[in-house]
Amino acid sequence: MSGDSILRLDGITKRFGAITANEDVSIDLARGEVLALLGENGAGKTTLMNILFGHYMPDEGSVTVDGRALRLGVPRDAIAAGVGMVHQHFTLAPNLTVLENVMTGTESLLAPRSAKGRARQRLAALAERFGLAVDPDAHVSALSVGQQQRVEILKALYNDARILILDEPTAVLTRPEAERLFETLRDMARQGLSIIFISHKLHEVMAGADRVVVLRAGRVTAERRTGATTQAELAELMVGRRVERPVRQPTQPGPLVIEARGVDVPMPGGTPLRGADFTLRGSEILGIIGVSGNGQTTLAHLLSGLATPSAGQIRILGQDARGLTARTMAAMGVGRIPEDRNTEGAVGSFPIWQNAVLERLSDPRFARLGIVRRGAARRFASDIAARFDLRGGGPDTETRQLSGGNMQKLILGRNLVDAPRVLVAAQPTRGLDEGAIAAVHAELLAAARGGTGVVLISEDLDEVIALADRAQAIVNGRLSPPVDAAHLDARRLGLMMAGVWEGLADAV
């Protein structure tokens, strides 16, 4: 491919203080190729792409586009050279229309009037050519996440990008959306564009890329053609050791801890829960599988004390859930892992110890007569750190400095350290890397062995199959009848997630 190389990164090194984010990284990209950059969180993938796009200045190394050296540290030069970037967190203005967003930055501020007519035609032509249909006059705030991503891609293409970089493009997508995205990327590559996407998900790297470069601790550790490797090999290359996710052992179910009959929960601006029936026993993991946006958030809020049912019966540990709040739930021994750990799980600028006890301030161990017992709270945080292998700081470290995996260990730890009777885990491994996923799975299984009843709300088929004793699908706010672990396989779960569950009860 040497003659057809469109992009070359050569010996890139980038240090932040004492930390080396990238060390002597060299990558080649051929025209019309889809390259995956695979690595765990913190392996230096995003830093590398930010250097390529001009957001960061490398300490050493060079970048060549089309045989010409690229001036580094200047995003405008990168754009002019044909490099387009689609960030993990979108950079669109929600109050502008799709067309206005796409045009942003392409016109002189001094232009007498905006040339919208021509821009509209060009946008339509691009959308047509690459199959990225989207209404140019829709406000971005009204679009789904998948559609917003399409706008981001169109924006890059509108700037004449020939090299497209996508940072964790599927992190916010549902599986069908992700599959569609990879079809689009393939199509673009066929039309001569070159694509790099960043990922830590093995199956999508195998499905979406021609070639994969594995990054570990800032260095390139391997390079493989996807046709000539396996997921297992890539996993080992990425993590540096064999990682095996633990699998459930059959357990003896304990007493009934949650019983829900025909529960309706309204959810303004989201998917309500309709007529939900489910039960949970101690020592049992109940998997709730579904494509995101089908009412999982509502269910998680109900079981976390943040939403109240409008109809039906639900008893949690014998108490009518109608009278329960977030505070009483925590006090009763209901552990809760929020769906979005960064916004709901912790106050980022609080020290770790404050986040460890924030939901337990009515517990006399941590506060008496309105005074916080700082010593006890700090010890509690240290205990969690020791028991759950939380690394990256002591009790006084600012919580936002923790990696996603360590943040999740903090949240898991503060819930599990007192052996709760119920644990509500909403998307507990979303966005985590392989090592952290295995650790979270092991903790969930250990909790169930210890008698905790676990509700596992997940969109990951493999996770539910590996962990759940029973599973129910959630589709458009309705729950399927439960299916036992013995009958759980990817095909049946896939059908259930698509809403096909007639005759399911007979099959069990």
Q: Which residues bind other proteins (CB under 8 A)?
A: 16-17, 55-57, 73, 304-306, 325-330, 336, 338, 340, 343-350, 354-355, 358-359, 361-362, 367, 370-372, 374, 398, 401
Q: Using an 8 Å Cβ cutoff, are 86 and 167 in contact?
A: yes
Map residue 210 onto helix, strand or coil.
coil
State how far the alpha carbon of 400 is from the alpha carbons of 88, 342, 350, in Å: 18, 8, 8
What whole-number distance in Å separates Cα of residue 79 and Cα of residue 69?
14
CB closer to other proteins out of 340 and 389: 340
Q: What are phi and psi of 430, to 5 degrees?
A: -60, 130
Closest approach, Cβ 355 to other proteins, in A, equals: 8
Closest approach, Cβ 289 to other proteins, in A, equals: 23
What whole-number distance in Å separates Cα of residue 421 and Cα of residue 452?
5
Q: Tell me whether residue 53 is exposed, middle or buried, using C-beta atoms within 10 angstroms of its C-beta: 0 to 12, 13 to 18, 19 or more.
A: buried
User: Both tokens of residue 427?
Assistant: 């998307």
What whole-number distance in Å separates Cα of residue 230 and Cα of residue 210?
13
CB closer to other proteins out of 32 and 392: 392
Q: Using an 8 Å Cβ cutoff, are 473 and 493 in contact?
A: yes
CB closer to other proteins out of 208 and 335: 335
Q: Using an 8 Å Cβ cutoff, are 151 and 141 in contact?
A: no
CB closer to other proteins out of 167 and 284: 167
CB closer to other proteins out of 79 and 202: 79
Instruction: Find the farthest-apart pair of alpha carbons in the chain and give their distance in angstroms, rounded.
Output: 75
Closest approach, Cβ 277 to other proteins, in A, equals: 26
CB closer to other proteins out of 206 and 332: 332
Closest approach, Cβ 244 to other proteins, in A, equals: 32
CB closer to other proteins out of 109 and 369: 369
State how far the alpha carbon of 362 is from the alpha carbons of 305, 359, 369, 371, in Å: 16, 8, 10, 11
What whole-number distance in Å separates Cα of residue 28 and Cα of residue 35?
9
Closest approach, Cβ 359 to other proteins, in A, equals: 4
CB closer to other proteins out of 317 and 488: 317
Closest approach, Cβ 327 to other proteins, in A, equals: 3
Closest approach, Cβ 358 to other proteins, in A, equals: 4
Q: Using an 8 Å Cβ cutoff, are 159 and 84 in contact?
A: yes
CB closer to other proteins out of 295 and 345: 345
Q: Where do we find the tokens 């924030």?
A: 358
Closest approach, Cβ 354 to other proteins, in A, equals: 6
The set of residues, in sequence order, having a beta carbon less than 8 Å from that of 240 and lying 6+ positions away, is 216, 217, 221
Element (H, E) at 8: strand 5-16
Q: Using an 8 Å Cβ cutoff, are 395 and 380 in contact?
A: no
Closest approach, Cβ 415 to other proteins, in A, equals: 12
CB closer to other proteins out of 266 and 499: 266
Closest approach, Cβ 431 to other proteins, in A, equals: 17
Element (H, E) at 13: strand 5-16
CB closer to other proteins out of 210 and 398: 398
Closest approach, Cβ 300 to other proteins, in A, equals: 10
State how far the alpha carbon of 224 is from the alpha carbons of 140, 214, 215, 362, in Å: 38, 8, 12, 55
Alpha helices for 191-334 (secondary structure H): 202-208, 231-239, 296-304, 326-332
What whole-number distance in Å separates Cα of residue 493 and Cα of residue 289?
8
What whole-number distance in Å separates Cα of residue 242 and Cα of residue 222?
16
